[in-house]
């Protein structure tokens, strides 16, 4: 895969106009645009068509977590929207994951188009070991162990990949093999500010650790010249 295809730009902005502006500037420079809860709830599903029309692929980051029938139905909507990727919570369980994978495959077949890739969110990177034990009552297991076990469950259920912290990549690769898609946020080139991200890696470190795609937001969208910022990141990935 070409380095630019690995970059998923997080469109964390407050208006459709701002998002469209960024897509126009960057469609030829990054692989995928991520539409999260902020932009999707603001602009509606039309933003996905808009990005597609401008030549961009879309990762819809809404993290579905509900009963199997509801998530399967939402998955069909995602297939109909023609997005490139969307995600669900692995914590919804094996039956929910299988229902989503099956429904998306059937809907894509009916529409005669490629199915979107489904990614599982395992343990959110904002959850600490203490919260896992005290609040989620998952005791006696390290976060990485829960993450890699749920990643394997997702893979066995027909899910295409995971979103995870760069620190979890090695454990997931060991259990799920080279073809399971790994997407990682928390990326900061050396020249960028950390902001609220804590356990960060550079784009190069994420690639070396085995990430397929990296989600990058503020280092690009807040840069004085977003195109120049992307070019610097691509140079780093190619070095």
Q: Which residues are catalytic?
A: 63
Kindly state whether residue 12 participates in binding ligand C5P, applying the rule CB under 6 A.
Answer: yes
Out of 104, 216, 230, 237, the residue judged to bind ligand C5P by CB under 6 A: 216
Of 51-59, 64-72, 138-146, 212-220, the window that binds ligand C5P (rule: CB under 6 A) is 212-220
Nearest residue (CB) to ligand C5P, 39 versus 96: 39
Q: CA nearest 90: which of 122, 136, 126? A: 122
Out of 57, 87, 125, 157, the residue judged to bind ligand C5P by CB under 6 A: 125
Q: What is the C-alpha to C-alpha distance for residues 236 and 151, in angstroms, rounded to an integer?
A: 29
Kindly state whether residue 10 participates in binding ligand C5P, applying the rule CB under 6 A.
Answer: yes
Site string for ligand C5P, 23-42 (x = CB under 6 A): -------------x------
Of 15-23, 79-87, 135-143, 213-221, the window that binds ligand C5P (rule: CB under 6 A) is 213-221
Nearest residue (CB) to ligand C5P, 103 versus 123: 123
Q: What is the C-alpha to C-alpha distance for residues 38 and 125, in angstroms, rounded to an integer?
A: 19
The DSSP symbol for 168 reads: G
Q: Are 19 and 226 in contact (CB under 8 A)?
A: no
Q: CA nearest 165: which of 118, 119, 124? A: 124
Kindly state whether residue 3 participates in binding ligand C5P, applying the rule CB under 6 A.
Answer: no
Kindly state whether residue 218 participates in binding ligand C5P, applying the rule CB under 6 A.
Answer: yes
| Residue 178, number of CB atoms within 10 A of its CB | 8
Q: How far is CA 135 from CA 122, 127, 138, 217, in A?
A: 16, 10, 8, 30
Q: Are 88 and 100 in contact (CB under 8 A)?
A: yes
Kindly state whether residue 166 participates in binding ligand C5P, applying the rule CB under 6 A.
Answer: no
Out of 102, 129, 197, 205, the residue judged to bind ligand C5P by CB under 6 A: 197
Q: How many residues bind ligand C5P (CB under 6 A)?
A: 14
Q: Are 13 and 42 in contact (CB under 8 A)?
A: no
| Residue 143, φ and ψ in degrees, nearest 5 | -50, -45
Site residues for ligand C5P per CB under 6 A: 10, 12, 36, 124-125, 163, 185-186, 195, 197, 215-218
């Amino acid at each position: 895969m070409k380095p630019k295809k690995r970059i998923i730009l997080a469109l964390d902005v407050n208006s459709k106009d701002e998002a469209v502006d960024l897509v126009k500037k960057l469609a030829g420079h990054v692989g995928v645009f991520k539409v999260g809860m902020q932009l999707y709830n603001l602009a509606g599903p039309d933003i996905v068509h808009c990005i597609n029309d401008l030549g961009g692929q879309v990762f819809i980051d809404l993290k579905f977590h509900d009963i199997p029938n509801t998530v399967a139905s939402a998955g069909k909507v995602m297939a109909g929207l023609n997005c490139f990727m969307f995600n669900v919570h692995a914590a919804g369980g094996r039956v929910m994951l299988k229902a989503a994978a099956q429904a998306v495959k059937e809907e894509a077949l009916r529409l005669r188009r490629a199915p979107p890739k489904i990614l599982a969110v395992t343990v959110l990177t904002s959850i600490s070991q203490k919260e896992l034990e005290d609040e989620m009552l998952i005791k006696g297991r390290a976060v990485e162990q829960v993450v890699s076990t749920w990643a394997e469950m997702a893979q066995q259920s027909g899910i295409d990949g995971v979103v995870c912290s760069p620190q979890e990549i090695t454990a997931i690769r060991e259990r799920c093999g080279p073809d399971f898609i790994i997407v990682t946020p928390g990326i900061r080139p050396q020249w960028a500010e950390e902001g609220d991200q804590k356990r960060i890696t550079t784009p190069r470190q994420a690639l070396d650790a085995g990430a397929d795609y990296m989600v990058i937001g503020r280092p690009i969208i807040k840069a004085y010249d977003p195109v120049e910022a992307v070019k610097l990141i691509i140079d780093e990935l190619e070095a």
